[in-house]
Amino acid sequence: MSKEALAARQGALKEAMKSENVEVLVLFGNNWHADHLRYATDFGIQEGQGIALVRDDGSITLILDDPAECERARSDSTCETIFAPALVQEAKRQLSRAGNHNIAAAPYHLLPYGLLHGDKDLRVTDGAKIVERLLMTKMEVEIAAVRKAAALADEGYAIFRQAARPGRKDYELVAEMESFFRANGVPENFMIVGVGGQEVRGMAPPGGKILKKGDMVTTELTPCFDGYYAQICRTLVVGEPSEAQRQAFAVYLEAMEAGIATVRAGVTAADVARAENDVFRKYGLGEYVTSEYTRVRGHGMGLFPDQKPAILEDVNITLQTGMTLIVHPNTYHPAVGYLVLGDSLVVRESGHELLCGTPRELFSVPLQ
């Protein structure tokens, strides 16, 4: 992460704390949910857990319970770093210095139990609204990193298409993607795949499936650049697609484009989901946009691959300029199996900025 971007984030966090009258903000992270902590420290945890104490004077203390992570943080981070196997006790010791100051924490639901209970003199409130707005709505310096990650996702999918040949195993495709991304400066890539036909109900880590004629091969690639993720979802067929596969894909394309056309500042996540789902309902496929067959119709991205807002019909978060999303009507189709299609974009005042350039096609790869 550039010093400019980190300074901008820390400045925005300081202003948000001031507006909520918070004097100390406690940010928790582990190797899966690290975006809150990473926002303030630019440190992504690989092992163990960590707590960052952000003070209203701009100073930050990073407490880690893994010695190797602490050593790495002292090299990579500008924050004061403390190694503490008893993470909660050290955090409470540091917080006791704040006396009766206003203390908030995020993500509150993940905070260790001992930090919230057992000490009547330590009162910690939920600080989600301080951080989550900043995580969802990006500054232009952050959007530049997401834009670069999306360009790498496009390049990566071109490599994926070349790798997807009959007789190969799904993990061989994943290995090629990891090799490509690592060679291009991508330290992290969240990727899942699906191989087969009507029996495939979703995507998962590779399990050794062998690509054969007629298989649909689905993937989502989510490379990280300078700490920020972007995603692309596409489907290809081994050999020429069948008529059923082409007809099914046409529904997903119409749904995706309906969702993207809805995106602009002022609409809600529910509006976007409804636009996608209404296309499936129009073709008698409404059952397949329920939670039985699909999770979300898109989601936010940034310092975490899957952030708020979730694109669902019951999520009434208003889209704001600067939010980075993927719109993807990924779900099961009863005739052909699980199919995916999705592009990353930035919410703008009067519409959106599309970040992915890969054609919206049902790709095919030759049998030889």
| 110 and 201 share one domain | no
Alpha-carbon span 231 to 325, nearest angstrom:
9
| 103 and 169 share one domain | no
- Domain end, chosen from 135, 159, 181, is at 135
Quickly count: other Cβ atoms within 10 Å of residue 149's Cβ: 28
pLDDT at 222: 98
| 74 and 158 share one domain | no
| Local structure of residue 109 (DSSP, 8 states) | G
| 100 and 197 share one domain | no
| 255 and 168 share one domain | yes
Distances (CA, A) of 234 to 203, 249, 255, 328, 367: 12, 10, 14, 10, 19
Q: Please list the ranges in the chain whose pLDDT falls under 70.
A: 1, 98-100, 118-121
| 48 and 153 share one domain | no
- Domain end, chosen from 135, 168, 197, is at 135
| 101 and 226 share one domain | no
| 115 and 29 share one domain | yes
Copy the structure tokens of residue 12. 């925005």
Q: How many residues does the chain have?
A: 368
Distances (CA, A) of 255 to 24, 33, 281, 312, 367: 45, 30, 10, 14, 30
Alpha-carbon Rg for the chain, nearest whole angstrom, is 22
| 191 and 103 share one domain | no
- Domain end, chosen from 135, 161, 196, is at 135
Alpha-carbon span 363 to 273, nearest angstrom:
25
Is residue 217 helix, strand or coil? Answer: strand
| 75 and 154 share one domain | no
CATH number at residue 325: 3.90.230.10
CATH number at residue 26: 3.40.350.10
| 176 and 232 share one domain | yes
The structural domain count of the chain equals 2
pLDDT at 120: 65
| 260 and 147 share one domain | yes
- Domain span at 162: 140-365
